[in-house]
Amino acid sequence: MASIGFEDQAAGLRQAHSSKESSILRLFQSPDDRLFGTHQAKQASEPRVALPPLVAIASGKGGVGKTFFSVNLALDWQSQGKKCAVMDLDWGLGNLDIALGIAPQKHLGHVLFGECTVAEALIDYDGLLLLPNACGESFHDYSLTEQLDYIIRQIVVAEPSCNLIVADTHPGLGPATVDVIRRATATVVVSTPEPTAITDTYALFKVLYQEPLNGSVGLVINQAPSAERAQEAADRLNTVAKRFLGHEIPYWGFVPQDSAVSQSVCNQRPLLKSAPWGRTTVALRNIGETVSAIVAAHQQLNAHKESR
């Protein structure tokens, strides 16, 4: 497991990843022995480990702040005593490493193609575990159902103290994203008040509500000019969802527009480190508390079911 401190900024955004023709594409097109056989054999030979809760960060469209939320919420939960791992599941557009100014040598694509282990791809970023992904490679839509538990289990095997997984998902309605959300204990759907973002967010909830979910899903409004504008956007979505989907959309909070956010992104330094007591950081911590309470409630419910 590599180790990178907050002050260790990489000279370049990333080193060029070796490109193997159609390797990842073939991986998901054909569940052959290289992937499923190998993984199943490893699972059979390893002791069973309890899987920690999974929190997914999702959005109907890109550019609304998913990675920003993934990193900063994970850091907030880490400050509360959790041992968190963040998985970059934004296939083809992975930028978790860029957001943090690091240059990983291995990523999740290498893991799934059998070129390295999860432990070898994990990065220890000042106590926060990161599993980066590839950027700039072409992918077809695929399902992660067969691989997701395996990946999470291998994170726990590599770091037994890990007790919370955060998944930075691919934006939109693809099967990979929907699979992760259906598996998650809690999902934060990030939107902005802009009409295009609200429309795509409604489309995502429409797909999600077509089948039962394992956990809870809630809306967060990012880059809100005011609390009133954020509430208006959330109310509009909720009204339409109740009328046409027969479901409500829980509102879990908002994050205001703040120049400190843009500065932290440009500096490739998490907001919780660059502005730990700013108004946006406080808003993030409030959302983190809400999601933590929801995760804890699900854990208690599952423990009660298992004890019966």
Residue with tokens 């695929």: 142
Distances (CA, A) of 233 to 3, 16, 106, 245: 41, 41, 40, 17
Residue 281: what pLDDT?
A: 96
What is the predicted pLDDT for the residue at 250? 98
Note the pTM of the prediction, 2 decimals: 0.84
Query: Of the candidates 291, 46, 59, 308, which has an alpha carbon nearest to the alpha carbon of residue 185?
Result: 291
Per-residue pLDDT of the chain (308 residues), as tens digits, is: 765 554 443 333 334 333 333 443 333 343 334 444 444 445 445 557 789 999 999 999 999 999 999 999 999 999 999 999 999 998 756 688 888 888 888 988 888 788 899 999 999 998 999 999 876 555 444 556 678 888 999 999 999 999 999 999 999 998 889 999 999 999 999 999 999 999 999 999 999 999 999 999 999 999 999 999 999 999 999 999 999 999 999 999 999 999 999 899 899 899 999 999 899 999 999 999 999 999 999 999 888 888 77
What's residue 174's pLDDT? 87
Please name the residue that has the structure tokens 């979505």.
237
- Please tell me the predicted confidence (pLDDT) of residue 135: 67
* Rounded CA separation 59/65 (Å): 9
Rg, the chain, Cα only: 19
Q: Which amino acid would we find at residue 152?
A: I
